[in-house]
A and B are shown apart, each in its own frame.
Chain A
Amino acid sequence: MLLKLTFNSLYARLLTVGMTVFAISLSLMLYMSVEKLRTSAYISFTDTISQTDLIVGARTSSVQLLLYSVFRIGNATNNITWESYEDVINKKEVAWSVPISLGDSHKGFRVMGTNSEFFKRYKFRGGQSIELEEGNKLDDLYDVIIGAGVAEKLNYSVGTPLIVSHGLQSFSDHEDQPFKVSGILAKTGTPVDNTVIVSLEAIEAIHVDWSTGAKIPGQITPVEEIRQMDLSPKNITAALIGVNSKLQIFQLQRWINEYPEESLSSILPGVALQELWRIVGVVENLLLGISVTVIFTTLIGMTAIIFSSLNERRREMAIWRAMGASPKVVIGLLMLEAFIISVMSIIVSTVMLFLTLYVLQPWIDNTYGILVNIEMLSVKDIYIFMLFIIAASLVSLIPAVRAYWFSINDGMTIKI
């Protein structure tokens, strides 16, 4: 009966209670959205590269190697020679490898030289392969494949001609050797989307008339002549390595790190990704802090609403007391109200969250490359909800105790 009457009481104050539930639901939804985005961003981030056992580059820190080889952020401290690369991939532990050559750009997008293995071996989001949305692979020396982000932002399509610039912020273009878009990759939500991919030979080709980072004055080798040249790569920036057995990873890593001919670094992508996430995790904690503050503020708001209704409900409390309800029952009634409001808020916020995610999921994925999974509530979510209900009930103790004193002092004399 108490539960029924509490529901009736809440229903009688539908507008106030409804707005309270809505306000709490919004803040809970904000918290859950941040939490969802946070975990999804983490998963998307750590899934930027998967099934690659080692990344090899010139001697540098693991985070820097990860940044330039996978995220195309920053520059390599040095290149590694093709001979060193061959020494590494000829090790019996190596199952496959993908060489990567970086350094040039196109309208702010990084140009990456690689070979056909890249399209076979580069995996993301737990093993997905990159796929061509339209067009063909790199059949010609001057073919490029562009990521979905490049195509969208530059409005390029298959057949669009493009010029590669030397370096990242150089005003020197390799205009004598224009490229043509041969294919556009499907969206991956990884840095591949913002990459212009050419062959390793193309990287060599555009640098034929260059020496030690500068164009040789007056030298312009005709394209037809370049096509006849031996364009085998001499240097690469990094290499993605897959091993035959996971047990061999550390053994190979140690061998590469101690390679005597050249200073090399080899990193475990998963470990480096975690390390990098810890660095950007400050923002994550900040978001979490904001969400918790919002929930706390809402709880205070709920208390204020219960508080403000107390005076007008003193008569109601007096009736309960006259019927034999102890002051503890009066406290219990208000706590029950807070409990119901918080449970209703949780239900509403969950529904609102899933509806919002359902609508926004494709947009978030396309815009930010974060795949927000719409899945059942996790144990952690339920734990948070339970904490919220306990917190709401405890916070409601403040007006409840006030009501307790009202009910003791009022007796049959209600001064309203």
Chain B
Amino acid sequence: MEKSNLNEKTIQINSVKFHWSNKSKFKLHIPELSVDKGEKVLLLGESGSGKTTLLSLICGFLTPLSGKIQLNEKLINDLSATKRDQYRSDNIGIIFQQFNLLPYANVIDNILLPLYFSKLRSANISNQRETAISICKSLRLPEDVVNMKASELSVGQQQRVAVARALIGNPSLVIADEPTSSLDTDAQTIFLDLMFSQVASSNSTLLMVSHDKSLSSNFDRVIDMKNVSVKEQ
């Protein structure tokens, strides 16, 4: 794997504070966190530690009460909601834990969906359909799967299609929220191998969330939530 310039940061978080208005007990404070370009980072943490909230902040779904979140050296928490949406669309591929796909759409439409919202990612591809099929092949999805409805796929296949969708148009950052939790151990290994190879070939940065420490060896770096966040009362 070719590692990019380590000084170039994909994610840079400084003194970020956040709390839900309806959850008075939960408070997230991250003094400092950064992820280099091309790095594969595993974010470990127990349930309720704030992993998914952190991802929502990085993706621009939420804005911190204070602090700075920079993606590719661009301060995103000062952007308007519309611009954050656009920035997410242009720069981040997202893989959810499960139910990643629009069940009524076919595989190819699911994969090409981000390109509808991002001219930038769309411009990175000359032939969208062929590229989507090519990624599917690389992820070892059967050839006929592209025209199938997402709801007709197995869970493992759906997760691989989600990887294809996250990677289409080469976003700089791929965020995966416990994508292997619904897979058995064998399928997990295969899935991670395929995801890593595709992330590497598109030169993207990977930030994956999990509570499974056994996955640590597969990543360049492991960040434990309890080491980056400060507990506040």
Contact = CB atoms under 8 A, between A and B. Distances in A.
Contact of B102 (A319, A326, A410): A319
B61 A411 contact: yes
Interface string B101-145: 111110001001110111000000000000000000000000000
Contact of B99 (A315, A325, A326): A315
Contacts of B56: 411-413
Contact of B101 (A11, A319, A410): A319
Contacts of B96: 318-319, 322, 412
B52 A323 contact: no
Contacts of A410: 61
B89 A323 contact: yes
A8 B55 CA distance: 30
Contacts of B118: 324
Interface residues of A, number: 25
Interface string A5-45: 10011011000000000000000000000000000000000
A2 interface: yes
A4 interface: yes
Contacts of B88: 322, 324
A5 B89 contact: no
Interface in A387-416: 408, 410-413
A2 B117 CA distance: 10
Q: Which of B61, B116, B118, B165 has the most CB of A within 10 A?
A: B61
B86 interface: yes
A113 interface: no
B224 to A, nearest CB: 20
A327 interface: yes
Contact of B62 (A4, A328, A411): A411
B116 A9 contact: no
A324 B86 contact: yes
A318 B94 CA distance: 11
Q: Chain A at the B interface: mostly helix, strand, loop or mixed?
A: helix
Nearest to B109: A5
B39 interface: no
B136 to A, nearest CB: 18
A323 B116 contact: yes
B59 interface: yes
Interface string A315-354: 1101101111111100000000000000000000000000
A5 B177 contact: no
B113 A12 contact: no
A326 B116 CA distance: 12
A1 interface: yes
A58 B102 CA distance: 79
Interface string B180-210: 0000000000000000000000000000000
B52 A413 contact: yes
A412 B105 contact: no
B63 to A, nearest CB: 10
Given A319-B102, A324-B85, A326-B85, A412 B94 contact: yes
Interface in A276-331: 315-316, 318-319, 321-328
A321 B61 contact: yes
A1 B52 CA distance: 30
A12 B103 contact: yes
B102 A9 contact: yes
Please provide the 7 A-B residue pairs with the shortest distance between their CB atoms, ordered closest to farther: A324-B89, A411-B61, A411-B56, A324-B117, A12-B104, A322-B94, A8-B104
24 contacts: A1-B112, A2-B116, A4-B109, A5-B105, A5-B109, A8-B104, A9-B104, A12-B151, A316-B102, A319-B101, A319-B102, A321-B61, A321-B85, A322-B59, A322-B94, A323-B165, A324-B85, A324-B86, A326-B85, A411-B62, A412-B52, A412-B55, A412-B56, A412-B61
Given A323-B117, A411-B61, 17 more contacts: A1-B116, A2-B116, A4-B109, A5-B102, A8-B104, A318-B96, A319-B101, A322-B59, A322-B88, A322-B96, A323-B94, A323-B114, A324-B86, A324-B88, A325-B85, A412-B94, A413-B52
